[in-house]
Amino acid sequence: MAQQGGSSSSGGSRILSGGSINVSPMKPLASLKVLVVDDEPMIRTIHKAQLVRAGINDVEVAANGKDAVDLHVNGATFDLILMDLHMPIMDGCQATKKLRAMGVKSSIVGVTSSGGAEKTAFLASGLDDCVSKPFVLQQIAHYLKVPRSPTNPPKYHNP
């Protein structure tokens, strides 16, 4: 999947347009930290099991956007955040905007069965991508392989 700035990946390095090289070592799956944000206990259970089966041992869950933001306020960091859209207290859109405003540079992938204008607005809130619920691991495989770096901004972020 192409990143902004016309970058392409080759093994552990990323060559940016203009010829500079940004070397970002790949993190092994077992050392990745993933946050699953969804108000439905069943969905959190399924997503966590999928990630653990893929080899990711550090999977944290949050039941709404506010809990996800609070985790970050308290110093937690994640390689990947899987964000539901419709949640009580704080929805996925608001949470994503807040996290990006806080300077969170983790990959944030929206997981929703919504479409149309709702999905477009969700993407524009700062997501790197949006997949349908229920997702299959292949849809987020890219985000489990590509590490986040300061020169690799979120794909849809509108500052």
Partner 1 sequence: MDVIQMQRTWVEYTKSLYREGFLDSQFAQLQLLQDESNPDFVVEVVSLFFEDSERLLNELTKVIDQQQGVDFKKVDAHVHQLKGSSSSIGAQRVKNACVAFRSFCDEQNIEGSLRCLHQVKQEYFLVKNKLENLFSLERKIVAAGGSVPTEELNFL
Shortest separation between residue 126's beta carbon and partner 1, angstroms: 23
Q: Taking CB under 8 A as the criterion, which residues in 41-80 touch partner 1?
A: 41-43, 45-46, 49-50, 52-53
Q: Taking CB under 8 A as the criterion, which residues in 83-112 touch partner 1?
A: 86
Angle at which helix 41-54 crosses helix 137-145, to 10 degrees, equals 60
Any contact of residue 115 with partner 1 (CB under 8 A)? Answer: no
Coil, helix or strand at residue 105: coil
Distance, in Å, from the CA atom of 64 to the CA atom of 16, rounded to the nearest integer, reads: 36
Shortest separation between residue 152's beta carbon and partner 1, angstroms: 31
Identify whether the C-beta of residue 100 lies closer than 8 Å to the C-beta of residue 92.
no
Any contact of residue 31 with partner 1 (CB under 8 A)? Answer: no
Task: Compare residues 10 and 138 and give the one whose CB is closer to partner 1.
Answer: 138
Any contact of residue 136 with partner 1 (CB under 8 A)? Answer: yes
Look up tokens 């930290």; give the residue.
33
Which region among 4-12, 39-47, 55-63, 66-74 touches partner 1 (by CB under 8 A)? 39-47
Cβ-based neighbours of 115, under 8 Å, separated by 6 or more: none
Cβ-based neighbours of 142, under 8 Å, separated by 6 or more: 1
Identify whether the C-beta of residue 120 lies closer than 8 Å to the C-beta of residue 156.
no
Any contact of residue 40 with partner 1 (CB under 8 A)? Answer: yes
Shortest separation between residue 91's beta carbon and partner 1, angstroms: 12
Residues that bind partner 1 (CB under 8 A): 40-43, 45-46, 49-50, 52-53, 86, 113-114, 133-134, 136
